[in-house]
Amino acid sequence: MEGLATLLVVVAVFVANLPALREQWRNDRPGSIKTIWMFGVYCLYVGLGIVVLLLLAPKTGGEDGEKALYLTGFMVGWIFYGGLTLMRVVPRYREPPRWLMHFGVADVVLLAATLACLAAYLWA
Q: d(Cα 74, Cα 64) in Å, to the nearest integer?
A: 16
pLDDT at 63: 66
Q: d(Cα 3, Cα 6) in Å, to the nearest integer?
A: 5
Percent pLDDT > 90 in the chain is 72
Q: Is the dihedral of CA 79, 80, 81, 84 positive or negative?
A: positive
Please tell me what DSSP assigns to residue 100: G
Residue 86: pLDDT band by 50, 70, 90 thresholds? very high
The domain locations on the chain are 29-123
Q: What is the pLDDT of residues 41-81, one digit of tens each?
A: 999 999 999 999 999 887 776 666 788 899 999 999 999 99
Q: d(Cα 74, Cα 114) in Å, to the nearest integer?
A: 5
The pTM for the full model equals: 0.81
